[in-house]
């Protein structure tokens, strides 16, 4: 529908315009950023009064700002200029409330000033705010086919918060923290311990770890510390504790991943399982309402078909542990059709058939799928793909390590996703964090290990199931 403005001579006393608007959490976050006001009364993630059931209230000036939508879009419309505005606020607005915003022309003053009555009311008619606006009518007639502003994504990590919250009440997992010789790895372990996720056993140079802890303003009192000097020595001590059942997980510190994993996979460590070991990234990406599981982007460089089958199984297990009852698995390639010249399309088709025949259980598997039609339903429909997975994939299985690593890092550094990771397939999970990961990312990796451990031992997820 075309949008047109109204010049001074086209407006009559008594003319009206109105719009409807629903208050959302994103509205409150965006207003907080735009205004700089961080009043906890107006932020959904802050418990202002100690009662978690009390909703956040919309700031009064956000309510008032809604009048601009009617004036700027409807009456007088594009080109209108505010000169003055008064408000009286009568009642609160909470997230989920539907509002009716209206204006009515009270007076016209030459050469082009109009006076408007402004009102904001709830859908049931209760008055929220009223006032008077003085507005200059547009100077030139304009007609627009469409008016819009660029889309905004509010940078929140609701999925991560949900996974962390599910760990509350679960027993902390004894975890060997292997060589935490830098601040992020040590702080991540200490934060996870403070949150009740792990009972850390610190392996490395005691003096180095004590110095780091002091610099972080933390104490290592009461924690078990095992002295080890070289990275290989630290990795060996961690694997020894896991083999003896003294810990149920390993957490990588500042040593290289290949040193730790070489020891985990050695015959001497005794930690090999029946499946191929693989790494799963769990990405909490702004704009997505569920975590995105990506595998394998850290261990298997160019997996063959049977290795990919285990990669799929491990990813399905972790997704189920995180509350996705029957995860949808998209096997990625460059295209969504089978092409013998692109081997990953053949692997994808075979993996889909293996799942159909029960060789891969617990999820719905389909492929080949390109990235767009794996996660975007409109892209899948445009391509004419009929599938239970296309456009809805929760797990993405990449063709090789390079593709997965680039995808995960693009989501992290371009889309501002919160990334966590876990290695499965060995007798104990391994939190194979990057040296660039924040302490918060390491804490979330601990949560993944706790949730997977709980799922393995009890057969059900601690996270409220998602369909």
Sequence-distant (≥ 6) Cβ neighbours of residue 351 within 8 angstroms: 305, 308, 309, 312, 331, 360, 365, 367, 397
Do 133 and 208 lie in one domain? The reply is: no
Mean pLDDT of the region 373-395: 92
Do 127 and 172 lie in one domain? The reply is: no
| Residue 123 phi, psi (nearest 5) | -60, -30
Do 212 and 188 lie in one domain? The reply is: yes
Do 135 and 52 lie in one domain? The reply is: yes
Does a structural domain hold residue 379? no
Q: What is the pLDDT of residue 3?
A: 84
**What distance in Å separates the CA atoms of residue 411 and residue 398, rounded to the nearest whole number?**
14
Quote the Cα angle for 247-252-258, to 5°: 115
**Tokens representing residue 74 in the block:** 């409807």
Question: Please, are residues 419 and 441 in contact by the beta-carbon 8 Å criterion?
Answer: yes
Mean pLDDT of the region 63-87: 95
- pLDDT > 50? residue 378: yes
Strands 16-22, 113-122: pairing kind = unpaired
Question: Smallest Cα–Cα separation from 206: which of 191, 226, 232, 189?
Answer: 226
Does a structural domain hold residue 172? yes
Do 307 and 205 lie in one domain? The reply is: yes
Can you tell me whether residue 38 is helix, strand or coil? coil
Question: Smallest Cα–Cα separation from 24: which of 52, 56, 46, 49?
Answer: 56
**Residue 252: enclosing H or E segment and its boundaries?**
strand 249-252
Do 106 and 177 lie in one domain? The reply is: no
Q: What is the pLDDT of residue 209?
A: 96
Question: Smallest Cα–Cα separation from 240: which of 222, 228, 254, 256?
Answer: 228
Do 280 and 404 lie in one domain? The reply is: yes
Q: What is the pLDDT of residue 50?
A: 67
- pLDDT > 80? residue 466: no
Q: What is the pLDDT of residue 44?
A: 82
**What distance in Å separates the CA atoms of residue 120 and residue 130, rounded to the nearest whole number?**
6
**Tokens representing residue 376 in the block:** 């975007």
Among all chains, which residue has been given the structure tokens 């630290």?
Answer: 234
Angle between helices 231-243 and 257-265 in degrees, nearest 10:
40
- pLDDT > 90? residue 26: no
Does a structural domain hold residue 250? yes
Q: Check which CATH number belongs to the domain holding 170 and give it.
A: 3.40.718.10
E strands, 42-186, where?
A: 81-89, 98-109, 113-122, 127-136, 143-144, 173-178
pLDDT over 90 percentage in the chain: 77
Q: Check which CATH number belongs to the domain holding 45 and give it.
A: 3.10.129.10
Do 251 and 277 lie in one domain? The reply is: yes
Do 209 and 277 lie in one domain? The reply is: yes
In tens, the pLDDT along 109-124 reads 999 999 999 999 999 9
In tens, the pLDDT along 189-208 reads 999 999 999 999 999 999 99
298 pLDDT band, cuts 50/70/90, is very high
List the single range of 46-50, 179-183, 461-465 with lowest mean pLDDT: 46-50
Residue at a domain's end among 144, 174, 209: 144
**What distance in Å separates the CA atoms of residue 282 and residue 351, rounded to the nearest whole number?**
21
Does a structural domain hold residue 198? yes
Residue at a domain's end among 95, 112, 144: 144
**What distance in Å separates the CA atoms of residue 291 and residue 288, rounded to the nearest whole number?**
7
C-alpha 278: how far from chain center: 22
Does a structural domain hold residue 322? yes
Do 162 and 288 lie in one domain? The reply is: yes
Do 307 and 430 lie in one domain? The reply is: yes
467 pLDDT band, cuts 50/70/90, is very low
Does a structural domain hold residue 258? yes
Question: Please, are residues 334 and 457 in contact by the beta-carbon 8 Å criterion?
Answer: no
Q: How many CB atoms lie within 10 A of CB 50?
A: 6
In the chain, how many domains are there? Answer: 2
Does a structural domain hold residue 228? yes
Residue at a domain's end among 90, 114, 144: 144
In tens, the pLDDT along 386-434 reads 899 999 999 999 999 999 999 999 998 888 888 899 999 999 999 987 7
Q: Report CA-CA distances (Å) from 413 to 22, 158, 252, 409, 416.
A: 32, 18, 22, 6, 5
Strands of the sheet containing 16-22, edge to edge, are 16-22, 98-109, 113-122, 127-136, 81-89
Does a structural domain hold residue 128? yes
Mean pLDDT of the region 340-357: 96
In total, the chain counts a number of residues equal to 467
Can you tell me whether residue 65 is helix, strand or coil? helix
- Evaluate the CA torsion angle 263, 267, 269, 273 in order and state its sign: positive
**Residue 35: enclosing H or E segment and its boundaries?**
helix 25-35
List the single range of 79-93, 287-301, 327-341 with lowest mean pLDDT: 287-301
Q: Report CA-CA distances (Å) from 425 to 283, 306, 321, 394.
A: 20, 14, 14, 20
Which residues span the domain enclosing 310? Answer: 158-327+394-458
**Tokens representing residue 437 in the block:** 């990961």
Q: What is the pLDDT of residue 2?
A: 72
Question: Please, are residues 320 and 458 in contact by the beta-carbon 8 Å criterion?
Answer: no
What does pTM read for this prediction? 0.74
Do 162 and 120 lie in one domain? The reply is: no
**Tokens representing residue 52 in the block:** 């978690």
Mean pLDDT of the region 34-59: 82
**Tokens representing residue 395 in the block:** 């797990």
pLDDT over 70 percentage in the chain: 95
């Amino acid at each position: 529908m075309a949008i047109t403005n109204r010049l001074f001579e086209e407006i009559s006393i008594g003319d009206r315009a109105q719009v409807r608007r629903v208050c959302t959490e994103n509205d409150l976050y965006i207003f907080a950023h735009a205004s700089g006001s961080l009043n906890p009364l107006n932020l959904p993630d802050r418990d202002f009064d100690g009662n978690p059931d009390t909703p956040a209230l919309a700031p009064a000036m956000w309510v008032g700002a809604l009048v601009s939508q009617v004036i700027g879009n409807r009456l007088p419309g594009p080109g209108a200029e505010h000169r003055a505005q008064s408000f009286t606020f009568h009642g609160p607005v909470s997230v989920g409330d539907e509002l009716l915003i209206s204006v009515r022309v009270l007076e016209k003053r030459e050469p082009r000033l109009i006076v408007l009555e402004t009102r904001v009311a709830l859908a049931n008619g209760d008055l929220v705010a009223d006032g008077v606006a003085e507005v200059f009518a547009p100077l030139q007639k304009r007609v627009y086919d469409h008016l819009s502003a660029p889309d905004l994504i509010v940078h929140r990590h609701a999925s991560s918060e949900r996974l962390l919250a599910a760990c509350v009440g679960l027993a902390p997992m004894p975890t060997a923290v292997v060589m935490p010789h830098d601040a992020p790895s040590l702080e991540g372990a200490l934060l996870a311990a403070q949150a009740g996720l792990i009972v850390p056993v610190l392996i490395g140079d005691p003096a180095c770890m004590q110095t780091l802890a002091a610099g972080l303003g933390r104490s290592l009192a009461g924690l078990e510390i095992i002295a080890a000097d070289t990275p290989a020595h630290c990795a060996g001590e961690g694997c020894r504790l896991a083999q003896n059942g003294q810990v149920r997980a390993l957490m990588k510190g500042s040593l290289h991943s290949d040193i730790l994993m070489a020891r985990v996979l050695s015959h001497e460590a005794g930690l090999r399982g029946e499946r191929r070991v693989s790494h799963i990234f769990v990405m909490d990406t702004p704009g997505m309402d569920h975590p995105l599981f990506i595998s394998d982007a850290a261990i298997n460089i160019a997996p063959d078909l049977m290795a990919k089958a285990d990669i799929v199984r491990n990813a399905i297990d972790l997704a189920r542990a995180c509350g996705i009852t029957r995860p949808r698995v998209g096997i990625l390639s460059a295209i969504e059709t089978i092409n013998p010249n692109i081997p990953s399309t053949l692997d994808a088709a075979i993996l889909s058939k293996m799942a159909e025949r029960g060789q891969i259980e617990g999820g719905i598997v389909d492929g080949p799928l390109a990235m767009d039609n794996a996660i975007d339903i409109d892209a899948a429909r445009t391509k004419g793909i009929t599938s239970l997975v296309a456009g809805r994939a929760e797990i993405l299985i990449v063709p090789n390590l390079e593709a997965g690593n680039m995808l995960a890092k693009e989501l992290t550094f371009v889309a501002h996703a919160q990334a966590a990771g876990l290695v499965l397939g060995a007798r104990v999970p391994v939190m194979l964090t990057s040296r660039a990961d924040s302490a918060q990312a390491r804490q979330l990796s601990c949560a993944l290990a706790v949730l997977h451990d709980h799922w393995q031992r009890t057969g059900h997820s601690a996270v409220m199931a998602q369909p």
